[in-house]
Amino acid sequence: MASIDLTHVKKVYPGNVTAIHGVDLSIADGEMVVLVGPSGCGKSTLLRMIAGLETVSEGTISIAGDVVNQKEPAERDIAMVFQNYALYPHMSVRQNLEYGLKNRGTPADEIRSRVAEAARILEITPFLDRRPRQLSGGQRQRVAMGRAIVRKPKAFLFDEPLSNLDAKLRGQMRIEIRRLQRSLRTTSVYVTHDQLEAMTLADRLVVMNGGLVEQIGTPTDVYDRPATLFVAGFIGSPPMNLIPLTSMQGDLAAFNLPQGTDIVGIRPDKFTLERPSEPSLRLEANVELLEPVGGESHLHVGLKDSGETLVISIPGRPEIADATEIAIYAPASALHPFSAQTGRRTDSL
Amino acid sequence: MVENRPFLTFLTHLVLIAGVVIVVFPVYLAFIASTHAPGNFVSGLVPLLPGPHLIENYSTIWNEGLSSSGAPPIWVMMLNSLVMAIAIAVGKIVISLLSAYAIVYFKFPLRLLAFWIIFITLMLPVEVRIIPTFKVVADLGMLNSYQGLILPLIASATATFLFRQFFLTVPDELMEAARVDGAGPMKFFRDILLPLSRTNIAALFVILFIYGWVQYMWPLLVTNDSRYYTVVMGIKRLAASADTEPLWHLVMAAVILAMLPPVLVVIFMQRLFVKGLVETEK
């Protein structure tokens, strides 16, 4: 167990392509940090740099206080779980689990007891003598995690470990990974492009875009106070409505929006169809589409005048016909002010 | 053919049997000839049933050879062929595995150039470079030696290319997982890559063993000491006799014996061979 510190880490590929533009991040001992962002944002590269599979162009990475820039992955004492599991196909599950320990010269009886324990925790004991080919996706995923935990490494690195599983299994495994990480208290870095996975797994969330860190914070912080327009649009499903001030009618002066604000973000679930008791923003809109998704419904509306489309999620299944005119309300406290120019929040933290 | 029509069944079998007969008949004839007394085979009427001299003919050719043609006992030549074929097959596999590993998994300057140079030599058969190669071997004093028979044939561009293609299909994550697991380059090669290439190696071994066994021109050039004759070129010597009829019964016995090792290799490695060509195990 250990902390991981990244100080101004940069990655420049040959041909002057910069993949990571300087990232500072401190991961505390036992913490689970999730790197999330769209594909190509550099999150996997960053993880692979921590693992030692990619070189660091600038800056330092230290694990438990030691700078590891020049160390081989094995010397860093980390374990990695890959998206395609990367199990050794010609070895049995048991041999897969043992391999890393054998290479480290762990005594045979300790290997046996650690493998037995990992197999018990992950409930893969019945498959120990099978080949990976004979296992299902979920079982392979467990083996891949087993291979990480038998080593008792300083840190776990997860590279989109659940994206090859079907939706139901993904949900199950997500909970298991969380439970496992909680009980082992091993420092973990987890990469995903799935914001739901990120929200539910993370102690702290690192939202990345274009090789830059957009925001670091607890999932609720990031959700409640997105620091940039990108984060606002990326976290949350359906995503936050980002409405240019120019396309809103009505009196906005009353809301005391900070200097420089020209975009207002409002989460879909903050809208109501009745005027709330607190001060609120009133917008007039045309219903374009009603999407019932079960417990709630998503209402796609176009703002009157500007035609700007918003998504509103309301509980239950309201009876609203398409093309009717309605008024929607959002409480003042639900407005997130942003500046389109800087892309950042204007009511600075 | 989805339909089951008797005529079609008959026709397909007819074609199949004709094919088998065409391929097998000469071999059968060779075997028949090797069981008859000298002269029977050239008496005008070719016998089609086995004769009474099987054991006699085979033991003569096996133990004594044909001194009139300057050929040693066939077991000497078979042994030479075996040494040559196995050394060539094993050598080619080892060298190609290592060079393909270097080309695929290591980044070094001129890597691509090295690959292309190897690849281009695919198009050069032994015969094209046979004179300079002979000169080199002769200058190194390797005429009439196993080294001389083996070394010039021991590198294979085809096998290097095949292994390269195979290595490219092995997911990178496997190598990365091995690195995280503390396996260095050679350990990864030995523990992961080699077992995965098992079927490919077996398939190549069959092909390369036969390639080594049937070498004719090169052994003919570099050996003139009968102790180093290989069996395929030895047969030619057995058949070439001045002024007299070749002793066909003994020549054919040698032919049958020379055919056996490749057949055995194919039979025993057939399962792995087919697997190696068909299956991709990753």
Give the pLDDT confidence of B144-189 residue by residue, as tens digits. Answer: 999 999 998 888 888 999 999 999 999 999 999 999 999 989 999 9
Distance in angstroms (rounded) separating the CA atoms of residues A331 and A239: 18
Spatial separation of the C-alpha atoms in residues A160 and A174, rounded to whole Å: 11
Note the pLDDT tens digit of each residue in A207-232.
Answer: 999 999 999 999 999 999 999 999 99
Mean pLDDT across A63-67 = 91
Phi, psi dihedrals of residue A285, rounded to the nearest 5°: -150, 160
Closest residue in A to B192 (Cα) is A88
Contact A99 B183 (CB under 8 A): yes
The rounded distance, in Å, linking the Cα atoms of B231 and B238 is: 10
DSSP-assigned states of every residue in B98-131: HHHHHHHH---TTHHHHHHHHHHHTT--GGGGHH
| Contact call for B187 and A79, based on CB within 8 A | no
- CB burial class (10 A; 0-12, 13-18, 19+) of residue A29? middle
Q: Are B179 and A73 within 8 A, CB to CB?
A: yes
- Tell me how close the Cα of A85 comes to any Cα of chain B, in angstroms: 8
Mutate to test the interface with B, among A63, A81, A85, A88 (most CBs of B within 10 A): A88
Residues of A in contact with B176 (CB under 8 A): 51, 53, 73, 80, 82, 86
Answer whether residue B270 shows pLDDT above 90: no
User: Confidence band (pLDDT; 50, 70, 90) for A338?
Assistant: very high
- Mean per-residue pLDDT, A45-61: 93
Starting at the earlier edge strand, list the strands of the sheet with A78-81: A78-81, A155-159, A187-192, A32-36, A204-209, A212-217
Q: Does residue B282 register a pLDDT over 70?
A: no
Question: What residues of A are in contact with residue B281 (Cβ under 8 Å)?
Answer: 89-90, 133
For residue A106, give every residue at least 6 positions away whose Cβ sits within 8 Å of its Cβ, in sequence order, or none: A114
Q: Please state, as a whole number, how many other Cβ atoms lie within 10 Å of the Cβ of residue B282.
A: 12
Is residue B229 within 8 Å of residue B81, measured between CB atoms? no
| Average pLDDT, integer, range B238-255 | 80
Nearest-neighbour CA in chain B from A44: distance (Å): 13
In angstroms, the CA A120 to CA A135 distance is 17
Among the four given CATH numbers 2.40.50.140, 3.40.50.2000, 3.10.20.30, 3.40.50.2020, the one describing domain A239-338: 2.40.50.140
Q: What is the ipTM of this complex?
A: 0.85
How far is C-alpha B213 from the chain's CA centre? 4
Contacts of A108 by beta carbon, 8 Å cutoff, 6+ apart: none
Beta strands in A163-307 (DSSP E): 187-192, 204-209, 212-217, 241-244, 263-266, 280-292, 296-303
CA distance A141 to A124: 10
Does the CB of A145 have a partner CB in chain B at under 8 Å?
no
User: Residues A88-112, buried b or exposed e (16+ Cβ, 10 A)?
Assistant: bbbbbbbbbbbbbbebeebeeeebe
Q: Which residues of chain B have a CB within 8 Å of the CB of A78? A: 180
CA distances from A231 to A189, A211, B6 (A): 19, 14, 73
- Predicted local confidence at residue B59, as pLDDT: 87
Distance from CA of B277 to the nearest CA of A (A): 18
For residue A103, the chain B residues in CB contact (below 8 A) are 181-183, 187
Query: Looking at this protein, which amino acid is placed at residue A259?
Result: Q
Span A299-323, mean pLDDT?
87
Report chain B residues touching chain A, CB-CB < 8 A: 171, 173-174, 176-183, 187, 191-192, 195-196, 198, 281-282
pLDDT for B44 equals: 74
CA of A264 vs chain B CAs: smallest distance (Å) = 44
Binary contact (A88, B174; C-beta < 8 A): yes
Query: Is the predicted pLDDT of residue A321 greater than 90, yes or no?
Result: no
Please tell me the CATH code under which domain A4-229 is placed.
Answer: 3.40.50.300
Confidence of residue B269 (pLDDT cuts 50, 70, 90): confident
Phi-psi region of A16 (alpha: psi -120 to 50; beta: other; left: phi over 0): left
Q: Which tokens sit at A171?
A: 């949900």
pLDDT of A348 strictly over 80? no
Q: Return the residue in A45, A82, A151 with the most chain B beta carbons within 10 A, the one to mutate for interface testing.
A: A82
Q: Which residues pair with A78 in a beta bridge?
A: A155
First to last CA, chain B: 34
Interface of A with B in 102-141 (CB under 8 A): 103-104, 133
Structure tokens at B145: 């030696």
The side-by-side arrangement of strands in the sheet containing A336-338 is A241-244, A263-266, A336-338
| pLDDT for residue B70 | 72
**Is residue A82 less than 8 Å (CB to CB) from chain B?**
yes
**What single string gives the DSSP state of each residue in B39-92?**
TGGGSSS---S--S-HHHHHHHHHHT-BGGGTBPPHHHHHHHHHHHHHHHHHHH
Among candidates B176, B192, B198 on the partner chain, residue whose Cβ is nearest the Cβ of A53: B176
- Which residues of A fall within a CB distance of 8 Å from B107? none
Average pLDDT over residues B246-268: 88
Helix (H) or strand (E) run with residue B12 in it: helix B6-33
CA nearest B199 in A: which residue? A90
**Amino acid code (one letter) for A266:** I
pTM as predicted = 0.82
% of chain A exceeding 90 in pLDDT: 62
Inter-residue contact A215 to A24 (CB < 8 Å)? no
Between the CA of residue A67 and those of A4, A50, B266, what are the distances in Å?
A: 10, 11, 56
Rounded distance, CA B120 to CA B157, Å?
Answer: 8
What value does the mean pLDDT of chain A take?
90
Tens digits of per-residue pLDDT, B87-129? 999 999 999 999 999 999 998 899 989 999 888 887 777 778 8
Set of chain A residues whose Cβ sits within 8 Å of the Cβ of B171: 84, 86
pLDDT at B277: 64
**φ, ψ of residue A123 in degrees (nearest 5):** 60, 45
Q: Is A86 on the interface with B (CB under 8 A)?
A: yes
Cα separation, B139 vs B133, in Å, equals 10
For residue A82, which amino acid is it? F
Phi first, then psi: what are they for A257, rounded to 5°?
Answer: -65, 140
Lowest mean per-residue pLDDT among A13-27, A179-193, B48-62: B48-62
User: For B187, which residue in chain A has the nearest alpha carbon?
Assistant: A103
Q: For chain B, give every domain's residue range.
A: 67-278
What is chain A's alpha carbon radius of gyration, rounded to the nearest angstrom?
24
Reply yes or no on whether the pLDDT at A239 is more than 80.
yes
Q: Inspect the interface and report whether the beta carbons of B182 and A51 lie closer than 8 Å.
A: no
Give the residue on A whose Cα is nearest the Cα of B176: A53
Greatest CA span in chain B, whole angstroms? 75
How far does chain A reach from its first CA to its final CA, in angstroms? 32
The CATH class of the B67-278 domain is mainly alpha
Interface test with A, best of B169, B181, B275 (most A CBs within 10 A): B181
Q: Where are the domains of chain A?
A: 4-229, 239-338
Three-state secondary structure of A279-344 = CEEEEEEEEEEEEECCCEEEEEEEECCCCCEEEEEEECCCCCCCCCEEEEEEEHHHCEEECCCCCE
Q: Tell me the pLDDT band of B280, cut-offs 50, 70 and 90.
A: low
The residue-averaged pLDDT of A98-127 equals: 93
Structure tokens at B101: 């590993």
A255 contacts A281 by C-beta, under 8 angstroms: yes
Whether residues B177 and A89 touch (CB distance < 8 A) is answered with no
Q: Do B179 and A86 touch (CB under 8 A)?
A: no
Q: Which strand ranges, in their side-by-side order, compose the sheet holding A4-13?
A: A17-27, A4-13, A58-63, A66-67
Residues of B in contact with A104 (CB under 8 A): 182
Beta bridge partners of A311: A300
User: What per-residue confidence (pLDDT) applies to A276?
Assistant: 85
For residue B178, the chain A residues in CB contact (below 8 A) are: 88, 99
Biggest CA–CA distance in chain A, Å, is 75
Give the residue from chain B lying closest to A101, CA to CA. Answer: B181
What pLDDT band is residue B47 in, cutting at 50, 70 and 90? confident
Please state the length of chain A.
349
Are B180 and A104 inside 8 Å of each other by CB?
A: no
Is the Cβ pair A86, B173 closer than 8 Å?
yes
- Select the residue from A48, A49, A53, A134 to test the B interface by mutation, using most B Cβ atoms within 10 A: A53
